[in-house]
Amino acid sequence: MPLDLPAMIRRSGNRRKAITFRPIKPTKALSDDLARLYMRVVSAWQQIALGRLLDIYAATLAQMTKDSPQDVQGELDLGEETIRRLLVSIFPDLRRWGVVVEEWHRNRFSGAALTATGIDLATVLSPVDVTETVGAVIARNVALIKDVSAEAQGRISDIVFRGITQRTPSRKVAKELREAVAMSRRRSLLIATDQANKLTASLDRARQEEVGIDQFLWRHSGKVHYRPAHKARDGNVYDWAAPPADLPGQLPFCGCRAQAYISFDDGTDSPSA
């Protein structure tokens, strides 16, 4: 339900020229919860690669019959089916993660609004109002989890069949398989952190626009490795109707935030942080 929070503040007798909300930063726990869902796929491929598949590979080197590569492919096909069933079970958990993040953000936004304005929005804001925002990020993570799985499968398949062709010893293939799994694990952790940030950044905008806040302060992430253009925007005021080409938290691994900002003057004074 769209609100006009600035009008409500004026009616309350506000005399300030500008009001800012404290920024809402995603917690490590939120990204860790998402990472665990990605890790279920990575761990499953690890069990497949370093379990029966490696045993079949060793037997293949010892026997090297014309059917040996087909045995390896058969095991990979069984692994793919196992992962397919696992993905089906993960997707409902992914939606539940989105519900948890939305509730966490709604509580933080309501708290920030109450502290900054004295107006309680807790009973007004609803998860229904941001269904599309959450749904879009969940859909993106469905695709990303599938991509992590496909990438792991591709690496594992390449290592095994290249090993057969080159008669690579099993111990070396096992080392390469562990490294491939580690790469998928590192990528998953990075994705989970980035996606948790992207969902909270999307919710920042959705909630601000929902309550009639049409401007925001760009708050730089403070990361060591930052985008100079983002650093230069720190503290600047932007309109949601005409924002920069990229928004806070939108680009890969951007940790910048859109801090809610309400102005009651002609905009000539600097905002207070």
Residue 268, pLDDT score: 41
Q: Return d(Cα 224, Cα 138) in angstroms, integer.
A: 29
For the chain (273 residues), the mean pLDDT of every run of 10, in chain order, is: 87 88 94 97 95 88 66 88 95 97 98 95 94 96 96 95 91 96 97 97 97 96 91 96 94 95 68 44
pLDDT, one tens digit per residue, over 148-207 is: 999 999 999 999 999 988 989 999 999 999 999 999 999 999 999 999 999 999 999 999
Residue-level pLDDT at 1:
59
**Which of 232, 264, 267, 266 shows the shortest CA–CA distance to 256?**
232
- Helix (H) / strand (E) element for 262: namely strand 257-263
Look up the pTM and report it: 0.89
- The C-alpha angle 194, 199, 203, rounded to 5 degrees, equals 145
Buried b (16+ CB within 10 A) or exposed e, 144-180: bbeebbeebbebbbebbeebbeeebebeebbebbeeb
Cα dihedral angle (205, 208, 210, 211), rounded to 10 degrees?
180
The span from the CA of 218 to the CA of 254, in Å, is 12
Domain ranges of the chain: 25-212, 214-273
Q: Residue 254: which region, alpha, beta or left (left: phi > 0; alpha: psi -120 to 50)?
A: beta
